[in-house]
Amino acid sequence: MQVDTALLYEYFAADDTKTNQPDAPRELVERLNLERIPKHVSIIMDGNGRWAQARGKDRSQGHKAGVAALREAVTTSVRLGIDVLSVYAFSTENWKRPQAEVNLLMHLFATTLVRELPLFHQENVRLMFIGDLTQLPQATQDVFAQGLEETKHNTGMVFALAVNYGSRSEITRALKLCCKQVHDGTLAIDDITEDTIASRLYTAQLPDPDLLIRTSGEMRLSNYLLWQLAYSELYVTPVLWPDFSRWDYLRAVIAYQTRTRRFGGL
Ligand code: FPP
């Protein structure tokens, strides 16, 4: 996507508060290679609970602070000219959390989505979802449907929210779809290719992530986009999600730009 460099520099200049790192902000922005911006950035937003705990607050406060960090990540992605931002908001395993926390997250997803619709329009962002939404509370599903409908004509960045998402169940679902087609004679086993599987994943319309960012230092994929991340560059930062600023995002993209991607070749 086209980068508006004036807007980009203005955006970073507007926040030079979080410069507690040795690399000064101006120097950081100058290190960015506008010719090598990742097309698809995906984020595992981790550490809301620890952020809250460290401040003697309830976990819910961590999730609320996480919403603000996500808002900033959306804007930063648009300013950087990224085509797709996907984020892991709720996994198929997250249902095991206390009911009150699950309810709060469902409520946060819905209220945030409605509140941020003007931002999505202003930034020309199109919303999409990854995951099995049929298991979500009806009120959450309704708001998600409204978000999809209202942003469907936006032509800028795609913002993909993974909700009730699990990679193994996604691949199992794709496999079942293939098996059904083989069974009813519309797909021959010998015609099954990697594309046959990929086109039956929730991400069928998206390119694979170029860069996966995980916050809060955990070195694992947590059942997230296992197929799609096959050749993605991984970037793990100890920063907890609510503290993840536009500068941290910039550092991740600059680190990505130093990597040599070989996709298994030489
Ligand atoms: C991980 O932190 C975060 C989540 C499971 C939820 C992510 C949700 C948000 C960032 C809130 C807003 C999202 C949207 C889409 C509006 P954790 O609770 O696992 O933290 P911990 O590992 O420190 O306990």
DSSP string, 92-123: TTGGGS-HHHHHHHHHHHHHHHHHHHHHHHHT
How many whole angstroms from 53 Cα to the centroid of ligand 1? 13
Q: What's the pLDDT band for 263 if we cut at 50, 70, 90?
A: confident
Atom of ligand 1 nearest to the CA of 87: 15
Q: What's the pLDDT band for 14 if we cut at 50, 70, 90?
A: confident
Cα-based distances in Å from 231 to 38, 192, 207, 256:
13, 21, 12, 13
**Nearest CA to 133 among 123, 150, 148?**
148
Q: Which of 42, 60, 63 to mutate to test the pocket of ligand 1 (most atoms within 8 A of CB)?
A: 63
Q: What is the value of pTM for the model shown?
A: 0.95
Q: What is the pLDDT of residue 143?
A: 96
Q: Does residue 94 have an active-site annotation?
A: yes
Residues 122-135 have pLDDT tens digits of 999 999 999 999 99
**83 near 69, Cβ under 8 Å?**
no
Distance, in Å, from the CA atom of 39 to the CA atom of 33, rounded to the nearest integer, reads: 13
Distance, in Å, from the CA atom of 207 to the CA atom of 34, rounded to the nearest integer, reads: 19
On whether 221 is known to bind a ligand per the annotation, the reply is yes
Is the model's pLDDT at 22 over the cut of 70? no
Q: Output the average pLDDT for the chain.
A: 94
Q: Is residue 143 in contact with ligand 1, taking CB distance under 6 Å?
A: no
* Average pLDDT score over residue span 184-199: 98
The packing angle between helices 59-80 and 99-122, to 10°, is 30
Q: Does residue 124 have an active-site annotation?
A: no
Residues 148-190 have pLDDT tens digits of 999 999 999 999 999 999 999 999 999 999 999 999 999 999 9
**Nearest CA to 247 among 9, 8, 12, 14?**
12
On whether 92 is known to bind a ligand per the annotation, the reply is yes
Is the model's pLDDT at 26 over the cut of 90? no
